[in-house]
Chain A
Amino acid sequence: MGEIKLMKGNEVLAEAAIRCGCDGYFGYPITPQSEVMETLMVREPWKETGMVVLQAESEVASINMVYGAAATGKKVMTSSSSPGISLMAEGISYLAGAELPCLLVNVQRGGPGLGTIQPSQADYFQAVKGGGHGDYKLIVLAPSSVQEMNDFVDLGFELAFKYRNPAMILADGAIGQMMEKVELADYKPRWTKEEVAEKNGDWATTGKPASRKKNVITSLEMASNDMEVRNINLQAKYRKMEEEDVRYEAIQCDDAEFILVAFGTAARVCQKAVEVAREKGLKVGLLRPVTLFPFPKKIIKELARKTAGFLSVEMSAGQMVEDIKLAVYDAGSNARVDHFGRMGGIIPTPTEVVEALEDKFSWELSYGVKRSY
């Protein structure tokens, strides 16, 4: 058993980074995630593990620092919140285009614009569909507990290096700010120079020895044919992620007539909502996507063949609901998909969720569930 502590989600991100052998963190302060860098600065990991921590002049700079350091084959990360991630969009596209592994964290707050510092999930599209320019995907992990904030740091790096692709932890202000019991990971040493060369030497800009060709990190191709080949290879990589690395949690879905779909903080609310609904005699389950990309399409397709409806519960105007609809459509099912959300930094209550379910699926609830899915 690892060390057990009571910690804030943001503090845990910092602690997990140090413990997993991260080589560098570059960031710029923004609420509700400033504790990540603050915790690192108090911990001074450069004295302990050699991990570098640097406050950049902007998010534009921090994401490009991540680019430079990641391109040398090292484990590096940044964290920010919504407006900061928007500023990073160009850099994230370059990271994806140049196929650089790194860890990004978005502790979301309400938008658009300067918005609010309260929690939100309205950056789903930005994280999952792009945000920057071009056809690219991030690996997106959605923690719904402080424990997962801890676990996904190491997992994020593992997946990032498996695919040579940026991975993002898409959290929200609630998960970042709340304190929970967490079992910390054991310390892993940072990779040595030799380990970096062995693992990433065929692409990383570690300095060119006589024994190999120069390594060049770029996303540029002048010939359209070459650029299309790059794109085809990227798409193949994304399909492989969909085959091998989908993660989700299905709670009481086996006999469920209605499925709530929710991630992060909304999933915690929905877990309670399932209990409330079941007490009322409604057969409700919860599907919690853990990877938002790759999205758990297969399980949704399977569930679509035996349930009457899906309610996507999000702290947004309804973004993930589109991906659920696509999966249900792919399944050829006529299960209905609807959305319930709160915006502007408001977290819905479990009763609100159950009421929304009863309201949006009142036809099915009054006339019985059609068995022709």
Chain B
Amino acid sequence: MELKEVTKTEGTMDIQDILKPENLVYQKTKLLTDTPMHYCPGCSHGVVHKILAELIDEMGIQERSVGVAPVGCAVFAYNYIDIDWQEAAHGRAPAVATGIARVNPDAFVFTYQGDGDLASIGAAEIMHACNRGENILVVFINNGIYGMTGGQMAPTTLEGMVTATTPYGRNTDLNGYPMRITNLIAQLPGTSYVTRQAVHTAGGVRKCKRALKKAIQNVLDKKGTSFVEVVSTCNSGWKLSPVAANKWMEENMIPYYPLGDMKDSVKGEHSEN
């Protein structure tokens, strides 16, 4: 097919100009593989993966990076980001990361864990890795539910929230209280940077990227454990459309899990809060 000659007016671009590499304004980072993601539409996991892949690329640390995937919806993280990965047993990622980081002090090691993985079955491992101040990054996806196994209660599930194992809503007499584990983590002198973010808005994505960049830099600078919680959506588990899930999160999750930095120091210093 022959393209019609288009007369260019000064300062405008035709399609060929737009496609020129030097005019590219945005592209999928090359560290994200072409494997189609299995995440549900609207799920926060995919957004956080993208941020991580971009940062590892931009910071030039692909060759030093070893990721530890959890048991949870992010179990296949290793299919999506083009770095070396290990798949850990449920909750054990911080111990696995400790093993990697201790015998490979130059590696950039991070765990990527859900709230069931990190705050329930792996509560001991995360506390002790952070308390030792392991030079690792922990990415903590708090969606208030067990996404992978079909929407059961997590330690982070809000009071009154309906899940497969709290069909009448979380009852604190029966199930205890939603756990703000990140606040506990911030108390540990082994941690350097502890923050809570969310990626349901464009602004949130940018802030979260800045936080993760700082967290990664801290690990590279051997400042101790950096811990980034991302308050996240699980629209399948919550049984809400992507838009409604974002709204629900804004109105319910974020008031209980307020966003912002909880600690910014170096290993060995106690948190102020």
Q: Which A residues lie at the B interface, using CB under 8 A?
A: 23-24, 26, 52, 54, 56-58, 60-62, 64-72, 74, 76, 90-91, 94, 98, 205-210, 214-220
Residue contacts A-B, CB under 8 angstroms, 17 given: A52-B103, A54-B102, A56-B95, A67-B92, A67-B96, A68-B86, A68-B100, A71-B96, A72-B66, A72-B103, A94-B89, A207-B63, A207-B65, A207-B84, A214-B83, A216-B87, A217-B87
Q: Which of B63, B78, B97 contacts A68 (CB 8 A)?
A: B97
Whether B107 sits at the interface, judged by CB under 8 Å, is: yes
In the complex, the answer to whether B96 meets A68 with C-beta atoms within 8 Å is yes
- Which residue in chain B gives the minimum CB-CB distance to A218? B87
How many residue pairs at the A-B interface have CB separations less than 8 Å? 129
In the complex, the answer to whether A205 meets B99 with C-beta atoms within 8 Å is no
Expressed in whole angstroms, the Cα–Cα distance for A216 and B92 within the complex equals 17
Expressed in whole angstroms, the Cα–Cα distance for A64 and B91 within the complex equals 10
In the complex, the answer to whether A64 meets B89 with C-beta atoms within 8 Å is yes
Q: Which of B97-125 contact A (CB under 8 A)?
A: 97-104, 107, 124-125
Contact with A along B73-94 (1 / 0, CB 8 A): 0010010001111111100100
Given contacts A65-B98, A90-B89, A220-B75, contact A215 B124 (CB under 8 A): no
Given contacts A64-B95, A91-B92, contact A58 B100 (CB under 8 A): no
Expressed in whole angstroms, the Cα–Cα distance for A332 and B96 within the complex equals 48
Q: Which B residues lie at the A interface, using CB under 8 A?
A: 62-66, 68-69, 75, 78, 82-89, 92, 95-104, 107, 124-125, 127-128
Expressed in whole angstroms, the Cα–Cα distance for A304 and B97 within the complex equals 50
- Which residue in chain A gives the minimum CB-CB distance to B101? A68
B-side contacts of A26, CB under 8 Å = 99
Least CB distance from B39 to A in Å reads 15
In the complex, the answer to whether B99 meets A69 with C-beta atoms within 8 Å is yes
Given contacts A54-B98, A61-B95, A207-B63, contact A214 B89 (CB under 8 A): no
Expressed in whole angstroms, the Cα–Cα distance for A24 and B125 within the complex equals 19
In the complex, the answer to whether A68 meets B95 with C-beta atoms within 8 Å is yes
A-side contacts of B83, CB under 8 Å = 207-208, 214
A-side contacts of B68, CB under 8 Å = 68
Residue among A67, A76, A215 with the highest chain B CB neighbour number at 10 A = A67
Least CB distance from B70 to A in Å reads 12
Expressed in whole angstroms, the Cα–Cα distance for A337 and B99 within the complex equals 45
In the complex, the answer to whether A76 meets B96 with C-beta atoms within 8 Å is no
In the complex, the answer to whether B85 meets A214 with C-beta atoms within 8 Å is yes
In the complex, the answer to whether A208 meets B62 with C-beta atoms within 8 Å is yes
Q: Which of A52, A61, A207, A219 contacts B125 (CB 8 A)?
A: A61
In the complex, the answer to whether A98 meets B87 with C-beta atoms within 8 Å is yes
Residue among B75, B82, B96, B124 with the highest chain A CB neighbour number at 10 A = B96
In the complex, the answer to whether B124 meets A216 with C-beta atoms within 8 Å is no
Expressed in whole angstroms, the Cα–Cα distance for A61 and B66 within the complex equals 19
15 more contacts with CB within 8 A, not counting A64-B92, A207-B63, A217-B86, are: A24-B102, A61-B125, A64-B88, A64-B95, A65-B102, A68-B98, A68-B100, A69-B99, A69-B100, A91-B92, A98-B87, A207-B107, A208-B65, A208-B82, A218-B85
Least CB distance from A230 to B in Å reads 13
Expressed in whole angstroms, the Cα–Cα distance for A69 and B78 within the complex equals 18
A-side contacts of B104, CB under 8 Å = 69, 72, 74, 206-207
In the complex, the answer to whether B125 meets A60 with C-beta atoms within 8 Å is yes
Least CB distance from B18 to A in Å reads 29
Expressed in whole angstroms, the Cα–Cα distance for A215 and B96 within the complex equals 16
- Which residue in chain A gives the minimum CB-CB distance to B108? A207
Expressed in whole angstroms, the Cα–Cα distance for A296 and B86 within the complex equals 35
In the complex, the answer to whether B102 meets A71 with C-beta atoms within 8 Å is no
B-side contacts of A66, CB under 8 Å = 99
Q: Which of B85, B97, B98 contacts A217 (CB 8 A)?
A: B85
- Which residue in chain B gives the minimum CB-CB distance to A93? B89
Expressed in whole angstroms, the Cα–Cα distance for A216 and B82 within the complex equals 10
A-side contacts of B69, CB under 8 Å = 218
In the complex, the answer to whether A64 meets B63 with C-beta atoms within 8 Å is no
A-side contacts of B89, CB under 8 Å = 64, 67, 90-91, 94
In the complex, the answer to whether A205 meets B98 with C-beta atoms within 8 Å is no
B-side contacts of A64, CB under 8 Å = 88-89, 92, 95-96, 99, 125
Given contacts A207-B65, A207-B107, contact A71 B86 (CB under 8 A): yes
Expressed in whole angstroms, the Cα–Cα distance for A208 and B128 within the complex equals 28
Expressed in whole angstroms, the Cα–Cα distance for A98 and B89 within the complex equals 11
- Which residue in chain A gives the minimum CB-CB distance to B71? A220
In the complex, the answer to whether B99 meets A68 with C-beta atoms within 8 Å is yes
B-side contacts of A58, CB under 8 Å = 124
